[in-house]
Amino acid sequence: MRALLAAVGTRGDVQPALALALELRRLGHAVRLCVSPNFVDWAKRLGLEAVPMGVEMRMPPKGSGGPAKLTPEELRRLREALPDLIADQFETIGDAAQGCDVIVGANAHQYGARSIAERAGIGCVTAVHTPVAFPSPDLAPPPTPGQTPAATARASIEEQWRDTAKAWNERALGRVNHNRQRLGLAPIHDVLDHVLTDRTWLAADATLAPAPATPGPRIVFQTGTWVLTDERPLPAALSAFLDGGEPPILFGFGSMPAAGEVSRRLIGAARALGRRVIVSRGWAELDRIDDAPDCIAVDDVSHDLLFPRLAAVIHHGGAGTTAAAARAGVPQVITPMFGDQFYWASRILALGLGASNPHASMTEESLTTSLRDALQPAVLERARALSGKVSRNGAEIAAKQLEREYAT
């Protein structure tokens, strides 16, 4: 079997696709990837065939006046002003799919994958990483950039999904149908329904994120989280810091923006509780605020090795980071900014694994309260108990399912 995996976006979008690709290769299948340009070298270092698709997804340095300074709404407008990424997907996936048996859209924003598969007469799977990515009467959609769940809750769940579908159509329907016409395919009428297909794969752990009881008109196959094992040793300075005292607090926002005095607020909250701090710089380029020995700043390191040695993790609520902390059995404080991050914050609260503090209203005082709540012994006990129930083999399950359905 030859599979084409398409994933564009930030690291949280691409890393699960790499995990699935490695599992497929382990089973003896050929794999090709279409990923954001700045992740092509990473895929190739893993020995995978990869071609660039879309634009580079990275934050410019602080002080550049670029997206690191922008609000989520401004980021959305910037993305919409970019070159026609839908046409690029059709072209890139169309070329890369030659000789393939199945195309896997490894996140929902794969506007060309199903059409290319339809034209080629091959299989197509769309995988999402959160239950709120597909319409269901049980769960409201993620809020649009700049909004919070409270701001959208005045409408019913059905109305919210209708508005979401309308937004997808306004953003993409004309361009998708233009490209389908070039392929000799009939027009579609609902972009979101089209890209999700009638059978969506949910690449999220069933304990953390159970599929909705009524997933709408489609069948949902839940694989579990696609985990890319990271066995890189921790830097010597970080290992020494960990060995030098009680388990510290880690905070970081991965590929998300963070403006203003966020480092000062986060470090201040940890220090208010007498805790040491690890600052994960991330794309927001967070850093220490002084030279005190109770704080260290790090770049990208292995979550597999670091998280089990922490007292708590403060993060934005990405699907991958939430699952990694849950697997490690460490309490979490989620500071959601937009999208499905609010869903993951709600799940951590529902499971008693930590606290939530929305990024827009985050202060040192509110963070101190949230962190104090997350550090309660009962929360740690629940986190450790649940860690054994959170699976790591979602990519293996997905690879074997692809093999069963599409291997010739």
**DSSP character string of 126-184:** EEESSGGGS-BTTBPPPPPTT--HHHHTTS-HHHHHHHHHHHHHHHHHHHHHHHHHHTT
Q: What are phi and psi of 405, to 5 degrees?
A: -90, -30
Looking at the fold, whether 193 and 244 belong to one and the same domain comes out as no
Q: Are residues 277 and 181 in the same domain?
A: no
- For residue 99, the 8-state DSSP code is T
Mean of pLDDT values over 277-291: 90
Q: With H, G, I as helix, E, B as strand and everything else as coil, classify residue 103.
A: strand
Predicted confidence (pLDDT) per residue in 332-342, tens digit: 999 998 899 99
DSSP state of 363: -
Q: Which pLDDT score, from 0 to 100, does residue 251 have?
A: 93
Helix axes 11-26, 319-328, angle to 10 degrees: 70
Token pair of 122 as six digits: 């091959």
* Burial of 349 from C-beta contacts in 10 A (0-12 / 13-18 / 19+): middle
Same domain for 60 and 194, yes or no, is yes
pLDDT of residue 254: 81
pLDDT of amino acid 68: 40
C-alpha radius of gyration, the chain, whole number? 21
Question: Given a cut of 70, is residue 70 above it in pLDDT?
Answer: no
Strands (E), 219-308: 219-222, 249-251, 277-280, 295-298
Burial code (b: 16+ CB inside 10 Å, e: under 16) for 256-281 equals bbbeeebbebbbbbbbeeebbbbbbb
The span from the CA of 107 to the CA of 9, in Å, is 9
Q: Could you tell me if 128 and 212 lie in one domain?
A: yes
Give residue 62's pLDDT: 46
Asked if 254 and 225 count as a contact pair (C-beta separation under 8 A), the reply is no
Same domain assignment for residues 372 and 398: no
My answer on whether 275 and 314 are in the same domain is yes
pLDDT digits (tens, 9 = 90+) for 71-99: 566 556 655 555 589 999 999 999 999 99
Q: How many domains does the chain have?
A: 2
**Which residues does 391 contact at the CB level (< 8 Å), separation at least 6?**
205, 206, 207, 224, 225
Label the pairing between strands 277-280 and 49-52. unpaired
C-alpha atoms less than 13 angstroms from C-alpha of 280 in its C-beta half-sphere: 24
Please check whether residues 145 and 34 belong to one and the same domain: yes
Tokens of 20: 């699935």
Same structural domain, 382 and 398: no
Q: Are residues 52 and 88 in the same domain?
A: yes
CATH, residue 305: 3.40.50.2000
What pLDDT, on a 0 to 100 scale, did the predictor assign at position 98?
A: 96
How far apart, in whole angstroms, are the C-alpha atoms of residue 271 and residue 332? 17
Please check whether residues 120 and 30 belong to one and the same domain.
yes
Q: Across 281-361, where does the E strand assignment appear? A: 295-298, 312-315, 332-334, 354-356
Whether the pLDDT of residue 148 is over 90: the answer is: no
**Length of the chain as a residue count:** 408
Q: Do 7 and 22 lie in a common domain? A: yes
CB 165 within 8 A of CB 135: yes
User: With 50 as the cut, is the pLDDT of residue 67 above it?
Assistant: no
Residues 6+ apart with CB under 8 A from 320: 12, 15, 16, 129, 225
pLDDT higher than 50, residue 348: yes
Coil, helix or strand at residue 392: coil
Residue 56, phi then psi, degrees to nearest 5: -65, 135
- Give the domain range for residue 241: 236-387
383 and 396 assigned to the same domain? no
pLDDT for 55 equals 81
Q: pLDDT for 24-45, tens place per residue?
A: 999 999 999 999 999 999 999 9
Angle in degrees, 0-180, between the axes of helices 319-328 and 377-387, rounded to the nearest 10: 100
Angle at 61 between CA 78 and CA 278, to 5 degrees: 115
Mean pLDDT of the chain: 91
* pLDDT at position 259: 61
What are the beta bridge partners of residue 332?
313, 354
